[in-house]
Chains A and B, each alone.
Chain A
Amino acid sequence: MKVKYFEVVRTAAVILIALFLAFIIISLVSEQPLESIRIFLWEPLNTKGHIGNVIEMAIPLMFTGLAVSLLFKANLFNLGAEGLFYFSGVIAATLAIHLTLNSFMHPFVAILAGSLVGALLSAIPGILKAKWNVNELVSSLMFNNILFGIGLYILNYKLRDAQAFAAVSFKFEQTAMLTKLLPGTRIHTGLIIVLVLIVAAHFFLYKTKWGYEIRMTGANREFAQYSGMKTAKVIILVHLIAGFIAGMGGSVEVLGMYSRFQWSALPGYGLDGALVAMLAKNNPFSVIGAALFLAYIRIGADQMARFSDVPAEMISIVQAIIILLISAEQFLKFWKNRMLLKEAQRNV
């Protein structure tokens, strides 16, 4: 066993432990544990529709996971993707309702507007951090609540369809909605958008000077500063980009999956993005796999809640365990140490 495979093995071990824990919880609460576990593991892959569900759910997770990865890469603990995702969704919905454009320009304009609004709003905690070192974690979480409040106000007072039974907006124009890619599923063109974005982010991060600046600022801000980089600008830049991506995610999700805006609570994709980023070790390409995995266990839990007696919230316990272990430096470290000791002795 080589030391360099350590991280891969470790991630796999974390996932296995988390799943094992999920089984234990299911066994404890379910009347028919085996059946529940079968549903949990198998149902998401069982039908084309369910696989579609997994991919549908992975799309927003990839958006937010990518946004959070960039922030984490710059060593910024900003969890504001949640509020941006929501608020940009409101913006895109507004334009989807009120604009009259052709079916290419309409989603394009709505998504672009949502993304830009996301970028601008994201810049606020970024500027506060860069200029005065305001704790971005607390400020971004406060912004989530603020943006949610304003978004909900817009929904209830400006967009709300009084004819509808629930607190939902007017119907979107048909032209605004994203095209479905695969018949029999709701997978939409957002998938292509996010995959292109991930490739672009990879090149940006590893092949351009701006990406280099972001990585160095994240690795050691003082070092970057000392080398002559303007780290304040870098921090604002990464906030702008992450906000843009999160905002785009919210807009795409609204136009791809719904025909009315109907979130009366924060949808949670922003915080999930943090989990995706951690699983992906902040690497853009790995975000795809991490988002698919998270979507898989989510859909599994949803199916289980529907067809057995285990509530879907169980999954948040599993997620917490994954975060705790995946970010635990010492987890399985003894094993790595033993390998290092062996290698060192071999070299002596």
Chain B
Amino acid sequence: MTSQLLEMKNITKVYPNGVVANQKVQFSLSEGEIHAIVGENGAGKSTLMKMMFGMEAPSEGEIFLRGEPLKLTSPQDAIDKGIGMVHQHFMLVPSFTVAENMVLGMEPKKGVGINYSEAVRMTEEMSKKYNLHVNPKAKVEDLSVGMKQKIEILKALLRGAKILILDEPTAVLTPQETEELFRELKQLKEQGHTIVFISHKLKEVKAICDRITIMRAGKSEGVFLTRDVSEQDISKLMVGRDVVLKYDKISKPYGSDILSVNELSLSDETGKALLENVAFKVRSGEIVGIAGVEGNGQTQLVEALTGRLSVRRGSIAVKGTVIQGYDIGRIRSLGVSYIPEDRMRQGAAKEASISDNLISTQYRSKEMNSGLFLKGKTIGKLAAKLIEDFRVRCSGPAQPIGMLSGGNMQKVVVARECSTSPDLLIAEQPTRGVDVGAAQFIHQKLIELRDNGSGVLLISADLNEILELSDSLLVMYEGQIVAYLEEPSKVTEEELGLYMLGLQRQDDGQIRRAVES
């Protein structure tokens, strides 16, 4: 083995809210390797990397670079030491051009101003050197996700990064874009760079990494040579049990139509189509999945379904009631529940108690209200019951929800949305950023709802989840439904990738089956 380039010893990190993210973690990096850090969400991978990149300071423990102790107080320190990071959420300024984003923080000067043409030249030079093609004068907000990632990598390289940390780089990419990224990474490795690759996708890890550090619940479970361990071995160490998602679903004939969407079209202010002739239905006892790379109209579809976007062309009906012009309150009163994509923004009120968060969709009902006052006892009982049923780990219903971990917070959101026995549940990325245990639990609950006769519309970027849970599957690409798949569990990820990337499309007849079957 080559020399240790970077070592982290006995790292412990406690966040101000009391969450222990890392506990006595060991990590070492050899020169010229691609080193994977795997672990489920919340295992502490990102925290560890933030400390390596100077964004967070360890509460205890030390970091060494080439044997020298390393004290990082800011990302700038890390950059100066040749450490670069590509974040999961891109760190780009949308209104700036590629070149402006490239030079931000190290602007070439002409007098007191910025030498913009020099910035463009630098970008072009880097782009050529590393074979990562970008247009320096394009505005970042107009670029694709894959392109933005290239800019991020170039940014790190321009700043002299020899160690490159990639935080779940493939989460937002199509399978094809992922392959392209892997080619680029291998090339970087050949040029002498060391890469830290954070992921929870074991196939990818096996495909390109030399060594693997496995993390679980804030601790490191060991370092392995990739060729020595199988995917099953890794997954066991990651969660202590097999993660393979397999659910027993009883097959029952579907009931009546709960949701029917017809010829729904929508465009933005520039006239660009966001949704085009979207048509499908959800029946009682059915989970309909919507797959697609993010930003292909899923968000707008959900916004239209939940009354945030008003629809001019096409129709949406819930149990036969056309809901055009309804606000979300009225839509909910028809028996619709909605698990939003972003629990911090919409799904929960952080400072409010768990109990307050649990009743937000039903505090108006007769059971909770005696005319003037809320019925404290009934609410208390309901909260206690839901906390127990959903195994929310907390100190009690009065605890502010913001103190909970992501998984437990999401359980509260799901508990609330399921507790009203909805006829239709719209679940948007229901397990994003949630640990595997909680995710499985949430999946069980969705299946339970379906078995009890609710219709579920599941929008998810997690292919595993969507293939396993859905009874039928729609694929969206550029605002259109490009495929309707009746047996999702038999579809391979590659096949799905072709639809998601728009390389393949079913004929209209096949797609129409989403409404007509």
Is residue B90 within 8 Å, beta carbon to beta carbon, of the partner chain? no
- Per the bound structure, the CA–CA distance linking A296 and B381 in Å amounts to 44
Is residue B453 within 8 Å, beta carbon to beta carbon, of the partner chain? no
Out of B17, B350, B360, B374, which one reaches A227, CB within 8 Å?
B360
Is residue B351 within 8 Å, beta carbon to beta carbon, of the partner chain? yes
Count of A-B contacts judged by CB separation below 8 Å = 78
Q: Residues of B at under 8 Å CB distance from A?
A: 14, 16-18, 20, 23, 59, 306, 327-329, 332-333, 338, 340, 345-352, 356, 359-361, 363-364, 369, 372-374, 376
Please give, as numbers and ranges, the residues of chain B lying within 8 Å of A208 by CB-CB distance: 372-374
Assess the A215–B23 pair: CB atoms within 8 A. Answer: no
Out of B306, B332, B369, which one reaches A209, CB within 8 Å?
B369
Assess the B347–A223 pair: CB atoms within 8 A. Answer: yes
Out of B350, B361, B372, which one reaches A219, CB within 8 Å?
B350
Is residue A192 within 8 Å, beta carbon to beta carbon, of the partner chain? no
Out of A207, A222, A333, A344, which one reaches B20, CB within 8 Å?
A344
Assess the B361–A227 pair: CB atoms within 8 A. Answer: yes
Write the chain B residue with the least CB distance to A217.
Answer: B349
Assess the A223–B374 pair: CB atoms within 8 A. Answer: no
Assess the B372–A226 pair: CB atoms within 8 A. Answer: no
Out of B16, B327, B373, B376, which one reaches A340, CB within 8 Å?
B16
Count, chain A residues at interface, CB 8 A = 26
- Per the bound structure, the CA–CA distance linking A333 and B369 in Å amounts to 39
Question: A304-348: which residues lie under 8 A (CB-CB) from chain B?
Answer: 333, 336-337, 340-341, 343-344, 348
Assess the A220–B350 pair: CB atoms within 8 A. Answer: yes
What's the least CB distance linking A219 to chain B, in Å?
Answer: 4
Assess the B346–A228 pair: CB atoms within 8 A. Answer: no
Please give, as numbers and ranges, the residues of chain A lying within 8 Å of B347 by CB-CB distance: 223, 226
- Per the bound structure, the CA–CA distance linking A203 and B376 in Å amounts to 12
Please give, as numbers and ranges, the residues of chain A lying within 8 Å of B346 by CB-CB distance: 220, 222-223, 225-226
Assess the B363–A209 pair: CB atoms within 8 A. Answer: yes
Assess the A344–B18 pair: CB atoms within 8 A. Answer: yes
Please give, as numbers and ranges, the residues of chain A lying within 8 Å of B374 by CB-CB distance: 207-209, 212
Identify 17 new A-B residue pairs, CB closer than 8 A, beyond the known A209-B364, A216-B360, A348-B23: A209-B363, A219-B356, A220-B346, A222-B346, A223-B345, A226-B338, A226-B346, A227-B361, A228-B332, A228-B333, A228-B361, A230-B329, A336-B16, A340-B16, A344-B14, A344-B20, A348-B20
- Per the bound structure, the CA–CA distance linking A97 and B359 in Å amounts to 50
A-B contact pairs, 5 of them (CB 8 A): A216-B356, A226-B340, A228-B328, A344-B14, A344-B18
Assess the A215–B356 pair: CB atoms within 8 A. Answer: yes
Please give, as numbers and ranges, the residues of chain A lying within 8 Å of B350 by CB-CB distance: 219-220
Is residue A229 within 8 Å, beta carbon to beta carbon, of the partner chain? yes
- Per the bound structure, the CA–CA distance linking A129 and B156 in Å amounts to 43
The 5 closest A-B pairs by CB, nearest first: A228-B329, A219-B349, A227-B360, A220-B349, A226-B346
Is residue A224 within 8 Å, beta carbon to beta carbon, of the partner chain? yes
Write the chain B residue with the least CB distance to A329.
Answer: B16
Q: Answer whether A225 and B356 are a contact pair too, CB < 8 Å, given A208-B374, A220-B349, A341-B14.
A: no
Please give, as numbers and ranges, the residues of chain A lying within 8 Å of B332 by CB-CB distance: 228
Please give, as numbers and ranges, the residues of chain B lying within 8 Å of A228 by CB-CB distance: 327-329, 332-333, 361
Q: Answer whether A340 and B18 are a contact pair too, CB < 8 Å, given A207-B374, A226-B328.
A: yes
Please give, as numbers and ranges, the residues of chain B lying within 8 Å of A340 by CB-CB distance: 14, 16-18
Q: Residues of A at under 8 Å CB distance from B?
A: 203, 207-209, 212, 215-216, 219-220, 222-230, 333, 336-337, 340-341, 343-344, 348
- Per the bound structure, the CA–CA distance linking A203 and B328 in Å amounts to 28
Please give, as numbers and ranges, the residues of chain B lying within 8 Å of A226 by CB-CB distance: 306, 328, 338, 340, 346-347
What's the least CB distance linking A282 to chain B, in Å?
Answer: 11
Assess the A224–B372 pair: CB atoms within 8 A. Answer: no
Please give, as numbers and ranges, the residues of chain A lying within 8 Å of B372 by CB-CB distance: 208
Assess the A337–B329 pair: CB atoms within 8 A. Answer: no
- Per the bound structure, the CA–CA distance linking A340 and B19 in Å amounts to 9
- Per the bound structure, the CA–CA distance linking A101 and B351 in Å amounts to 49
Out of A203, A220, A348, which one reaches B348, CB within 8 Å?
A220
- Per the bound structure, the CA–CA distance linking A207 and B328 in Å amounts to 25
Please give, as numbers and ranges, the residues of chain A lying within 8 Å of B340 by CB-CB distance: 226
Assess the A229–B348 pair: CB atoms within 8 A. Answer: no
Out of B16, B329, B360, B364, which one reaches A223, CB within 8 Å?
B360
What's the least CB distance linking B55 to chain A, in Å?
Answer: 17
What's the least CB distance linking A348 to chain B, in Å?
Answer: 7
- Per the bound structure, the CA–CA distance linking A216 and B373 in Å amounts to 16
Assess the B356–A212 pair: CB atoms within 8 A. Answer: yes
Please give, as numbers and ranges, the residues of chain A lying within 8 Å of B373 by CB-CB distance: 203, 207-208
Out of B14, B306, B345, which one reaches A222, CB within 8 Å?
B345
Q: Answer whether A212 and B18 are a contact pair too, CB < 8 Å, given A226-B347, A228-B329.
A: no
- Per the bound structure, the CA–CA distance linking A228 and B372 in Å amounts to 20
- Per the bound structure, the CA–CA distance linking A63 and B332 in Å amounts to 38
What's the least CB distance linking B287 to chain A, in Å?
Answer: 22
Q: Most chain-B CB neighbours within 10 Å: which of A208, A212, A226, A341?
A: A226
- Per the bound structure, the CA–CA distance linking A208 and B17 in Å amounts to 31
Please give, as numbers and ranges, the residues of chain B lying within 8 Å of A348 by CB-CB distance: 20, 23
Please give, as numbers and ranges, the residues of chain A lying within 8 Å of B17 by CB-CB distance: 340
